[in-house]
Amino acid sequence: MKNTITPQTAQKQTAVSQQPHSTPASYPMQLATASIGAYSTSQLLQLQRTIGNGAARQLMKSDGSAKPIQRMTEADVPKKDAKKFKNLRALYGNKLGVLSQLYNYHDESFDRLLENANDLEELESSITALIAKAEKTKETRAAKEAAEASAPKPEPKKAEESKTEAVATPKKEKKKKPAKVNHAATLFTGATKTVQQAVDVQKVATNPVIKDWIKGKPASATITEESIEVKADTVYIYATVRIADNSVPGMPQIHVYPIEIHYHPVPTSANYLHVKRSAGSDAGNKVTYVSWLIPRGNSTLRDAVAEWNAAKPGNPSTHAW
């Protein structure tokens, strides 16, 4: 039986055969060369998986109307800039870290500055600006305290001589009961109320508290690495633990605990990684390398080994995290 093809059918088949076909391999390149405003969410995700977050962010910068794909993370730092990134972290720790003189005069962590930066130049500018702001705040507070201390204290008023006068004894009045207040009508009017929130309340992290942390992380706890320093036979990893406290109704607080992680890259005992609340306290708070008290996990330990090997070239660590 002969196949009959009408002119209309032949025309449709010819049109279909002439349409370009996009293979899976060529599709990401079409995305990379397409107009930025034409991206959908799924296309952006595929572009990230294909060429990486850093390249995708650079591509998005070419369109002033486009927003960054995601905030900057340590993984976005090129290998060639690793030393500069390390120096910026050390600069933050020395100037603004938990043991620095400016620690209580700012409210931005290193991780927050990194997230808000597009590159290391912007991160360096943010740290420099924050240091200048913290120094100015410190100077302002010091000047205010000095002025208050030097201000003359008001002299106490002399007690006036009591004059004895014949005063009629007043009649006792019956106490009136206070009128009842409809609290429900006050609380549920729908009007907004402002409650003062106390944050960064300094608390002492005693060793029993740290031992509880070693057993498990509190639900609302977060930890931020401040700086890494090499001293004698120990690498000090300074960090800050923050835990939300809503035990007082209407008065939420955030408790701040500065802690030290002591790491011995060339250990002489099994207790080469432990946490202290302050120098000289009990060293029995042993932790493992996967503990949540190591701020960035293996990345922090690798940085600690690098700092140690640079400072102690004659006694390098054999640890490879």
Query: What is residue 308's predicted lDDT score, i.e. its pLDDT?
Result: 94
* pLDDT over 70, % of the chain: 65
- State yes or no: pLDDT of 48 exceeds 50: yes
Residues 149-184 have pLDDT tens digits of 888 877 777 666 555 566 667 777 777 777 776 655
- State yes or no: pLDDT of 209 exceeds 50: yes
Structure tokens at 300: 């922090």
Confidence label for 25 from pLDDT (cuts 50, 70 and 90): very low
- State yes or no: pLDDT of 194 exceeds 80: no
- State yes or no: pLDDT of 199 exceeds 80: no
Q: Give CB contacts under 8 A, 24+ apart, made by 134-139.
A: 134/95, 134/96, 134/102, 134/105, 134/106, 135/102, 135/105, 137/105, 137/106, 138/101, 138/102, 138/105
Residues 61-115 have pLDDT tens digits of 655 444 444 567 888 888 899 999 999 999 999 999 888 889 889 888 998 888 8
Query: What is residue 184's predicted lDDT score, i.e. its pLDDT?
Result: 57
Residues 6+ apart with CB under 8 A from 148: none
Q: What number is the average pLDDT over the span 130-151?
A: 90
Query: What is residue 200's predicted lDDT score, i.e. its pLDDT?
Result: 66
* pLDDT over 90, % of the chain: 30
- State yes or no: pLDDT of 234 exceeds 80: yes
Q: Do the beta carbons of residue 255 and residue 240 sit within 8 Å?
A: no
Structure tokens at 91: 């600069």
Round the average pLDDT of the chain to a whole number and report it. Answer: 77
What's the pTM value of the predicted model, to 2 decimals?
0.40
Q: Give CB contacts under 8 A, 24+ apart, made by 50-58.
A: 54/78, 57/118
Query: What is residue 262's predicted lDDT score, i.e. its pLDDT?
Result: 92
Q: Do the beta carbons of residue 245 and residue 236 sit within 8 Å?
A: no
Residues 261-287 have pLDDT tens digits of 999 999 888 888 988 865 445 556 889
Structure tokens at 164: 């004895």
Query: What is residue 58's predicted lDDT score, i.e. its pLDDT?
Result: 66
Residues 2-21 have pLDDT tens digits of 455 555 555 545 444 444 44
